[in-house]
Structure 1
Amino acid sequence: MEVIDLTNLPISDDEGGAVSREELENAVDDMTDARLRKIVIRLADRIPAFRSALVKEAMVVSGKKRKAVPRWDVCANCKEEYDISGERDDEECCYHSGDLDADEDYFADHGEDCHGPMDTKENRAQFPQGFIWDCCDENALSEGCETGQHVSGGKPKKRR
């Protein structure tokens, strides 16, 4: 059986021009989150089939009152997005339970009076090997030392 790739076929716009899927993806990637949310809600209001598909992708019915809740959450431990309606696995989440501290030996030549504090967001990003987890004594590049199920609550509420 031959597989036909339709992903790069052009999409017609309102002016009759053709827009490729890649061009559309690039436009979406360049939008602000706020603009994208407005467009999604506007489409859901105007197109019942879009609204129905969006509800199926974004919401689940939960609890005794059968209330619709967001389907996706971010784990408080590993910070990964997960489907709350999916089957839970005791090893789906890999994380560190401790705190990340600057490794004084790694930054031995780093005088805070001259170079500023060692433990900064910039240094953590630029020198992850210079920070040690106090839960396992591994550096920031190491995979989590604990596993478990995802825990709700890692996503800050969206600003409107």
Structure 2
Amino acid sequence: MAALEPTGLEPELEIIDLTGETTASEEEEEDLSDVSSDGPDAASRAQLHAAIYTVPEARLRDVLADLVDRAPAVYQALARELITANPATRVVIPRWETCASCGETYDVNADDGEEECIFHPGNLQVNEAKFLDWDEDCHGPMDSAHDRDEYPENFSWSCCNGDGMAEGCVNGQHSVAVHKKRRLA
């Protein structure tokens, strides 16, 4: 190993400030480093958000699945957001489910003590008396998905007789919709 020859220059010493006080120039450097370390600016993020909301769902799923396979940080972030372990069985399950009663998406990790599910256990039935001057030959059937959306006040719930706009009459806990098993061909 060769010996270092003296050059006459003192090595530059790094000064570490343990007081936590910073000067104005140091604060400017920190502000600039925060911008670059945070990633893209607000305009770039807005453009990406717009693209996410307009891309077809199947393509978005493919992109996410590919990123999960290629980027460990993406895998970890999505695993935290999308899956959980069933406390009773310790089996990994989806974190988000659709409620069989109210149709809302809910977090299975949410506190079970809260009765967040509000729904009608009955059926929505047409109230023919409210469809004044309705001719099914001209207008089509009264009881259609379109008419339920367009004229909810002309329908009533069999469980509480509330009209189609009435909030649910039963409060309870969310329940997991039964998943249909896919048949492999």
Provide the TM-score with structure 2 as the length reference.
0.71
Q: Distance in 1 between matches of 2:74 and 2:173?
A: 32
Q: Distance in 2 between matches of 1:72 and 1:111?
A: 44
1:157 to partner: Cα distance? 8.1
Listed as ranges, the gaps of 5+ residues in structure 2 are 1-34
Specify which of 76, 88, 91 is matched with residue 52 of structure 1: 76
| Number of aligned residue pairs | 146
3-state SS of 1:11 partner:
coil
Partner of 1:128: 152
Q: Distance in 2 between matches of 1:117 and 1:156?
A: 31
**What is the aligned-residue identity percentage?**
39
Residues 76 and 155 of structure 1 are in contact (CA less than 8 Å); yes or no, is this contact kept in structure 2? no
Bigger RCO of structures 1 and 2 (CA < 8 A, at least 6 apart): 1
CA gap of 1:36–1:154, structure 2 versus 1, over 3 A, is farther
1:61 aligns with 2:85: yes
Q: Distance in 1 between matches of 2:165 and 2:133?
A: 21
Greater strand fraction, Structure 1 or Structure 2: 1
1:11 aligns with 2:40: yes
Greater helix fraction, Structure 1 or Structure 2: 2
Provide the TM-score with structure 1 as the length reference.
0.82
CA gap of 1:10–1:59, structure 2 versus 1, over 3 A, is closer
Q: CA RMSD in A?
A: 2.5
Listed as ranges, the gaps of 5+ residues in structure 1 are 1-5, 13-17
- Moved beyond 3 Å, runs of 4+: 154-158
| Larger-Rg structure | 2
Specify which of 155, 158, 164 is matched with residue 140 of structure 1: 164
Specify which of 95, 100, 110 is matched with residue 71 of structure 1: 95
Q: Distance in 1 between matches of 2:81 and 2:172?
A: 25
